Amino acid sequence: MNEDPTLALARQILAAQPFSGVVGAQVEAFGDGRAVLRLPIEDRHRQQYGLVHGGVYAYLADNALTFAAGSALGPSVLTSGFAITYVRGARDGVLLARARVVHHDARHAVCAVEIHVADDLGAERLCCVAQGTVLATAGKAAP
């Protein structure tokens, strides 16, 4: 079966970000003002207490917000700013960052994201929430 071309483009854009490759994130869903990023938790994602480092959540929030906005504004976008609230830590499982556009016009989008951790049985727990603003740019995203 052929991959959805918009999802394929989103995956190309993520692959063009060297840091995303280092972290190991994947685009699971993309389109219609929504995006889902997936990150299997590994030792490299943990801080000294064995919990996922806050920077990993911030990375996921930033990218998920930007991908959701990009599905509404086009692929040439940058995060203007975001705020994150940590709810609970995670040690193991898969992080799922689900973002959606709350409002947009031609030049910017306001987005919200929830990051959950899923265990081996698929049960999910909320880890953090974030809200941010994404701007359309005149530049071109690298494919």
Q: Is residue 118 part of a domain?
A: yes
The pLDDT profile of the chain, 143 residues, written as one tens digit per residue, is 566 888 888 888 888 888 888 899 999 999 999 999 999 999 999 999 999 999 999 999 999 999 999 999 998 999 999 999 999 999 999 999 999 999 999 999 999 999 999 999 999 999 999 999 999 997 655 44
Its domain, for residue 69, covers 5-136
Q: Is residue 69 part of a domain?
A: yes
Domain count, the chain: 1
DSSP-assigned letter for residue 16: T
In a domain, 142, yes or no: no
| 47 is a domain residue | yes
- Measure the CA–CA gap between 92 and 95, rounded to whole angstroms: 9
Instruction: For residues 139 and 137, give the distance between their C-alpha atoms in angstroms, rounded to a whole number.
Output: 5
* 85, β-bridge pairs: 129
141 falls within a domain? no
Q: What is the CATH number of the domain that holds 121?
A: 3.10.129.10
pTM over 0.85: yes
- Residue 126: CB atoms within 10 A of its CB come to 12
Residue 143 lies in a domain: no
